[in-house]
Structure 1
Amino acid sequence: MKRIGILGGTFDPPHIGHLIIAQEVLDSLQLEEVWFIPTYEPPHKHEARLQVKNRIEMLQLALAGNGLFQLNTIEVKRAGKSYTYDTMITLKEQYPDSDFYFIIGADMVEYLPKWYKIDELINLVSFVGVKRTGYTLETMYPITEVNIPLVDISSTLIRKRLRENKSIQYLVPDSVHTYIKEHGFYVQK
């Protein structure tokens, strides 16, 4: 069985925290790949700031240097709100010889009881929890904890820094930084 990590999110924008998490889980669990799955519209958040086309382009730039990281647009193609359960049903049908490891931050671990069809979902995928400042990894659901270097970066922080005209250098890959500057994204107009 092929061992594949899944890292979902809005990636608005993608940042080094996403890449560090993916690499640490890949190494710790000896995965063969990590698939980054951007949402079209996340079920638990307000809509993304940027159009999906721009978020995909930034994600492609961020992943370009690592052949073990892949972009998968299954949720974008579905459009509308995406539920992990529906995504995993489709992936299990398309890749029956793969085991999937769904990577979530501690903020999402606490939210698991509210996930759509969580009791069915835990039979489709192994959850992997990583720490986030201010959250615990305590849950009644089975998760594998992977220790990662705690880098307290979020897309929200990056957008805030850009609105305040502060640098985001080293918080995002250089290619993503250039893309954001070239398009003037996230700054107040």
Structure 2
Amino acid sequence: MRGIVKSVLGVALAASAVMGTGAGTSAGAVGPEAGAEAGFGVGVGFGVGVEAEAGVEADLAHHGHVSLWDGRVGVWLVSENHGPSDLSQATVRLAFSEPMAGGQELPTACLWSSDRVVSCRTGELRAAGGVGELALDLRTAGLPDELTVEITTAWRDGAAADRNPANDRHRVLVLATGDPYVF
């Protein structure tokens, strides 16, 4: 019974994450079909309602830089798996303190969770060397002098443990100077 309730809850949460605020995916679709176009199955990529195998461990790390200038935000992100287990994929969440302008296209591996949150699949990350890269060029809704970006792993496919979670969680204050703020 617990598994059924968890699965139903997972489907509902994944559907609401895919629907977000109606911003859709890079193709401009809205609703559950938006997730399918971006390659997200219901629950897949978000890990909602999915139980990880006991004992499987993967150490994800996210590094890169963020820049802010003239109402634009540039994010360059590298995701790595330091092992010991391979991951078929993971989801990284980027949460901005300022809302982003609507109607923006994202890479096919990403979708809008809200006007302040983008969730992206990393692709396969093999142990001890698997690397996934992501580049975003976004417009903010206004012209902020600064903003904060929180980068976190939202889901690790099949991995129950990450003994070093500090390297996949970052909070970066970015000033509107155009300079790259490294994390």
Fold-level match, TM-score > 0.5? no
Give the TM interval when normalised to the shorter protein. under 0.3
What TM-score results when the alignment is normalised by the length of structure 2? 0.25
| TM-score normalised by structure 1 residue count | 0.24
